[in-house]
Amino acid sequence: MQGLNAGGVFISTPRPLQVGASLRLLFSIYEGEIRAQAIVRDCLKGEGMGVEFVSMENEDWQRLLLFLERLSGSFERVW
């Protein structure tokens, strides 16, 4: 996994899903678990796929923002 931001993530995989495919994601981080529904928006054959978060519970969203804030040290809270 690389390229994580509040809108989505790039997932390195030798066999990415097709553009438009939907998937459920689960991240286990220090702040807790983050569950999200996502859609593949970009695909690089043999390299990976860019997915957009399309649905997330409020608690998961807050954990994601806290995680991004911890990583960057400067992510602005929006709640």
Q: What angle do CA 40, 45, 51 make, to 5 degrees?
A: 15
Beta strands in 1-79 (DSSP E): 2-5, 8-12, 22-29, 32-44, 48-55
Q: For residues 1 and 78, what is the distance between their CA atoms, to the nearest angstrom? A: 25
Q: Which residues contact 69 (CB under 8 A, 6 or more apart)?
A: 75, 77
pTM equals: 0.80
Q: Which tens digits make up the pLDDT trace of 22-72?
A: 999 999 988 889 999 999 999 999 999 999 999 999 999 999 998 888 888
Q: What angle do CA 8, 42, 23 make, to 5 degrees?
A: 60
pLDDT of residue 79: 46
Greater pLDDT, 2 or 54? 54
